[in-house]
A and B are shown apart, each in its own frame.
Chain A
């Protein structure tokens, strides 16, 4: 099973069929070096830790997290998760290392086919497939990496990070999102694998975004990735999670944890645009702690999946700390995007802004779930929340759950929500200029998302547009 013939995959026929029936039929051959048994058990957790050859404290941490998860049970609010059955899930799969693959032609045909269906540019496809040496960006990246290393920057996948920097890792790991925090964080803590480990020393400013797709290898792609980002005082950088990178995982459950520590005067941006296959439950905990005068910006794009629950949260712990969330959700048939933001103002003069844009189509439903909390003593805190929903047809649904808790008289909190429907007059207008109806709709949707999309680096904005066009396909009756 581990070694599949490359041109006669047993599921090739199935794959070909899927191409016609399901637009997002991502597919990944079951090439793995190790796979745990199904279900979430103590034995599985022990296996994972053993396979990874981890320090003792990590195994203990995992087991404690498992106990917490069992005690907590699943959340009783939010989207319907009743079809998510853990007994059917492999919680750990270590893929075959594609060592020695340095020719694009060596990449299995079905993998290339999957990339093609995703429409990933060939350059990035090669990267994803591990054909790094031939990819010129790889060279550019290697040079960058050398430069960063000279400045003391660490940019590794989390498993390697734990092995190479055990002290630093242990000091910060799970300090932002402890397993007690919520059920899915506890599950992730028990079975985590992969993700990125980023450390930027004091005062170091990086102009080029740190892009996670450069890290992609057998280790870093996971359903239960754990990302830990540490920004020392005065550092500044932008971390980007590759757009389509995690999608070729066809498993039905993804639950990542992202922890970010923004120290005094540091400035961190975290951007991710994710496009999951339509059978995935995507339940992610993203959180940042921001110290005095620090600034944290989230850009969070959610496409695909069956259910997404994702509320990037920012804890503003020091005076003048600033948090910003730009969020995009696109729910199509059968999908529920439950996304939003959480901002906790725990110190004076802290400021935050949340802009959420959601689109629903067909039987899709998007919800904005947000919390703004102003603690007592957080004098002169300011927060502004804006959520705009766009419905593409009469069937589509949207709802908002904005929770605002203010315990400080001097706080200024603004909240604004709009719901609009795709406007026939706009479509006719654009059509009258020569754009076909589907292109007209896609353009309107892109315009709606523009305030968020323009914050993305160009190549990601382009990719976002392409994903939207894919989602829009078949919108015209």
Chain B
């Protein structure tokens, strides 16, 4: 199975020289599947996503992350990207003066050998396809990366990039939050367009709503920096109505929602 999957093995991480945030995460997303990752605020979902992408502000204190059986922890963030990993950020940054078109062309060419750069027409066609898939106006490609973008536009841009870069594995960190219903459908359409036997995704979300459009093969629940429960898509519905307290209790954690670092009951 590890041959064709994104695998997280007993991953421990902390803010560099700070407190531990991930306390032994285990999770496998096989290629061809889409999994959901849910969990209360502050449980470590974004940290997990960024640690996997190689964010230097975190330090890994144990465990491993593997793409198709190969550890990626020794790789730079850009090398991980070129190995097929993609992260749609919860809070995409702005990069003034850098147009989406120019940036994506550079990003694509970074994946290719020198001298084998993508042809301008081929690139343009690919970009146009992605823009269309997201019901977006073509002028967006000339705009600077997220400069002056609305929250929803930023999220849409993260999916646009995903469609152009065609990664093997994508982590979408709350790409649905801040989207109106129409935008949500469009984003879901984009993700579903990427879906296929060669593509795996981990979709981080708080809302069952998104999972109506992107139906997950499996749902993982994170609390206090660990996966505490796994289930089918019905689990997401259950969480939607019942909240997280029962899951936490099941996992031996305090049923307090607002302090994820509370000591375990009885510990």
- Chain A interface (Cβ < 8 Å from any Cβ of B): 423-426, 428-437, 439-440, 443-444, 446-451
Contact = CB atoms under 8 A, between A and B. Distances in A.
A428 B58 CA distance: 12
B96 A436 contact: no
Contacts of B53: 428, 432
Contacts of A446: 97-98
A426 B89 CA distance: 12
B148 to A, nearest CB: 14
B151 interface: no
Given A426-B95, A448-B97, A450-B97, A434 B107 contact: yes
Kindly state the interface size class of chain B when it binds its partner: 20 to 34
Given A435-B107, A436-B78, A447-B144, A429 B95 contact: yes
B55 A428 contact: yes
Interface in B60-91: 76-78, 80-82, 86-87, 89
Given A433-B165, A434-B78, A448-B97, A439 B106 contact: yes
Contacts of B111: 434
Given A431-B81, A433-B165, A448-B97, 15 more contacts: A429-B92, A431-B76, A432-B54, A432-B80, A433-B78, A434-B81, A434-B108, A434-B110, A436-B76, A437-B76, A447-B96, A448-B96, A450-B96, A450-B97, A450-B144
Interface of B: 53-57, 76-78, 80-82, 86-87, 89, 92-98, 103-104, 106-108, 110-111, 144-145, 161, 165
Given A428-B55, A432-B77, A450 B98 contact: yes
Contact of B95 (A437, A443, A449): A443
Contacts of B103: 430, 433, 443
Given A433-B161, A443-B103, A428 B77 contact: yes
B78 A435 contact: yes
B110 A436 contact: yes
A449 B55 CA distance: 26
For the complex of A and B, 10 pairs with smallest distance between CB atoms: A447-B97, A450-B97, A431-B77, A447-B98, A434-B81, A433-B107, A434-B110, A431-B78, A434-B107, A429-B93
Contacts of A423: 93
A424 B132 CA distance: 32
16 contacts: A428-B53, A429-B89, A431-B54, A431-B77, A431-B78, A431-B81, A432-B81, A433-B78, A433-B161, A434-B108, A434-B111, A436-B110, A447-B96, A450-B97, A450-B98, A450-B144
B49 to A, nearest CB: 10
Contacts of B77: 428, 431-432
Contacts of A440: 78
A444 B161 contact: no
A116 B108 CA distance: 28
A449 B95 CA distance: 12
